[in-house]
Structure 1
Amino acid sequence: VTQLGLVWREQIAFILTQDFTLKRIQYLDVLQEEAESNGDDAAGLAFASQILMAESVSTMLEELVSCLGGWEQE
């Protein structure tokens, strides 16, 4: 296997390559629906979407690194 398609918590879909590169990151409808419930206007929706997506990617990366053995120490 050189590429593996994964979905994290039904929020983010991505492809993990053999050298641990993330490709084709897609935010799924669950995140957009959550952002829509937090934003009243277009600017508020855009801000809420950015915050939720950044938090989700950060948490996903932490979990992914942990599952793969952690960060390499030099």
Structure 2
Amino acid sequence: MDLYHLDGQNLHTLKEQPFKLEKEMQALFEAHLPQLMGWQVVKSEFRLKQFRFDTLAFNVEKQAFVVIEYKRDKNHSVVD
């Protein structure tokens, strides 16, 4: 999907800058989670028994916890 920036009457295509590491994506997303999704970060790298979740967040509106897993690749399995 192409993204654009509107500058007055001029429309500019934004160039994709891929993340080198999933950790970079995680740090950026967690830092701006309230603005992006309206959720609160509860814990980064949350562990529950043998599982590790990248981000545990809380959706105040739905009163529900949200687990976020970051994948840099398009065809990588979230559940192994």
Q: TM-score range by the shorter chain?
A: under 0.3
- Rg larger in 1 or in 2? 2
| TM-score w.r.t. length of structure 1 | 0.28
| TM-score w.r.t. length of structure 2 | 0.27
Say which structure is richer in helix.
Answer: 1
